[in-house]
Amino acid sequence: MTVVARVVCPDYDRVDDALRRALEFLGDQGPFAAPGEPVLLKPNLLAPYPAAAAVTTHPAVLDALLSAACDLGARPVVADSPGFGSAERVARVSGILAVCRRHGAPLLDLGVGEVRRASGRTYRDLELAREALEARWLWNLPKWKTHTMMGLTLGVKNLYGCVPGKRKVAGHFRAGRSVDSFARSLLDLWDLLKPALTVLDGVVAMEGAGPSRGRPIVRGLLLASSDAPALDWEAARLSGFDPRDVPTVRLCLAQGRVRPERVEVCGDPAEPLRFEPAAGSPCDFSLPGPLKRLLAGVLSPAPRFDARLCTGCAACCEACPAGALTPGAPPEFSQERCVRCYCCQELCPSGAVRVPPRGIRRRLPLVGGRRS
């Protein structure tokens, strides 16, 4: 059986107790680290946002996990390759850097170090940061967020931060418009990195235009597991989505990587809370399952650019894997080249990029002021 621990955590002042309970529920799913050995903690450091924006892993979650690593006698190191900005800048703005310094844990920028090539099940020439690929003990600390391209960004997707710097752009370009192709590359990363522990920060999550422009939503949960695909399946269900609408989860179910009857969810009771999906995402429109997935690529909308908000910084142009953008205010956009990865929206520092709903928008009744 695969165990997923589900623990209620109403606010970040109670993360220490929630994490302790989660690790107790995991029981013999470890070991998660070894005395005297380094353990690499990989939070979500997408871009320089304050913790309250719910874009990055909250510093209280990292704080609790650093304490847990030290209690095991391990030597923790914190590392990520942000989508925008340096690891030090993102960590400083989000509050992560102060936590690292308090624990004496080094902060590594995986975007500037040595790169190693590795062969996955689908892709044979993946490029990964050496520190991540060679880590014996890797702890994965994703943020619970909606995601315009992938529906949700959870445990498996968080590992994309182990791809250094602008090599992430190449990964998106290789996948083209196929979300399943990109999902397969993410599962290759999971196979290669196999985190010993994944802890999902869902105390305050994000809904709407994730992973960087959505709204914080109080979910009040921590999920933990040694198996990120199983954790992602449970998180998708608790987000009020059909887990099969999340490409990585759908592939895990189809390939037998996740078997719901073999997943044991331990801990506190929790009912699904309907998240507002990211506009344009695979979770954003309602059709019968097979038809929805057949039409997903056809109905994927192109991003739109707001000249009133655009500063002409060209961050979107640098992030675009297909070369569909030419610098300007707003940038010149080629709809034919666009692969619908939505990196432009994800990394625009001024919020000038938005993605409209898909061709068939999900209609949801309102119950008590919230979607159900």
Beta carbons within 8 Å of 365's beta carbon, 6+ residues apart: 371, 372
Which pLDDT band, with edges at 50, 70 and 90, does 170 fall under?
confident
Instruction: Return mean pLDDT, the chain.
Output: 91
**Exposed/middle/buried for residue 237 (C-beta within 10 Å: 0-12, 13-18, 19+):** middle
pLDDT of the residue at 251: 97
Residue 22 near residue 219 (C-beta atoms within 8 A): no
Q: How many CB atoms lie within 10 A of CB 101?
A: 12
pLDDT per position as a tens digit, 308-354: 999 999 999 998 988 999 999 999 999 889 988 999 999 999 999 99
Query: Mean pLDDT, to the nearest integer, of 4-23?
Result: 98
pLDDT of the residue at 106: 98
Least confident of 58-72, 127-141, 319-333: 319-333
pLDDT per position as a tens digit, 190-208: 999 999 999 999 999 999 9
One-letter identity of residue 51: A
Q: Is the peptide bond before 272 cis (omega within 30 degrees of 0)?
A: no
Distance CA 363, CA 343 (A): 26
In CATH, the number for domain 289-354 is 3.30.70.20
Residue 192 near residue 176 (C-beta atoms within 8 A): no
Residue 152 near residue 276 (C-beta atoms within 8 A): no
Query: What value, to the nearest 5°, has the Cα angle with vertex 115 and ends 86 and 157?
Result: 65
Dihedral over Cα of 17, 144, 198, 243: its sign: positive
| Range list of H helices, 210-333 | 228-238, 247-254, 289-295, 315-319
Residues of the chain with CATH 3.30.70.20: 289-354
Distance CA 325, CA 338 (A): 8
pTM equals: 0.91
Least confident of 70-84, 164-178, 219-233: 164-178
Q: Which of 45, 131, 40, 58 is nearest to 86 (CA)?
A: 45
pLDDT per position as a tens digit, 73-104: 999 999 999 999 999 999 999 999 999 999 99
Residues of the chain with CATH 3.40.50.11440: 2-267
Beta carbons within 8 Å of 258's beta carbon, 6+ residues apart: 229, 230, 232, 233, 249, 252
Q: Which of 334, 339, 337 is nearest to 305 (CA)?
A: 334
Domain 2-267 sits in CATH 3.40.50.1260: no
Residue 52 near residue 3 (C-beta atoms within 8 A): no
> Please, what is the angle between helix 179-193 and helix 228-238, to 10°?
130
Q: Is the pLDDT of residue 359 over 90?
A: no
